Amino acid sequence: MALAHRLNRPALLRLPAWLLKIILGELAEALLLCSQRVTPQKLLAANFQFKYDTLNRMLQDTLDNTKPRGDL
C-alpha cells in the first residue's frame, strides 16, 4: 500500500481476508494477516543509526532519486 500510494497508483493485489483464508487456510493467518511489532533490539543497543526511520521516507528518497532527468 505504501508503494502504491507513493506512486499514485492503485494497489492491484488487494484481497479480502476471507478469500485469503479460503485459498491458503491457516497459512494466510500466519504469514499475511497477523501483524507483529518487531524491533531490532541488538542494533538499537549498539547505537546503530538507521538511514530511514519509516518505509515512507525510504520510498520517497529512493523514488525521488530514480526519476528520469530531462537533461540527457
- The range of the structural domain enclosing residue 12 comes to 2-65
Whether 31 is in a domain gets the answer yes
Instruction: Give the Cα separation of 3 and 56 in Å (integer).
Output: 8
Does the pLDDT of residue 45 top 90, yes or no? yes
Whether 12 is in a domain gets the answer yes
Q: pLDDT of 5-32, one tens digit each?
A: 888 888 777 788 899 899 988 888 888 7
Whether 61 is in a domain gets the answer yes
Instruction: Give the Cα separation of 56 and 21 in Å (integer).
Output: 29
Residue 67's pLDDT band (cuts 50, 70, 90): low
Q: What are phi and psi of 60, to 5 degrees?
A: -60, -50
Q: Which carries the bigger pLDDT value, residue 66 or residue 24?
A: 24
Q: Count how many domains the chain has.
A: 1
* CA-to-CA dists, residue 43 to 39, 40, 47, 50, 55, angstroms: 9, 5, 6, 9, 18
Which H or E run contains 26? helix 26-28
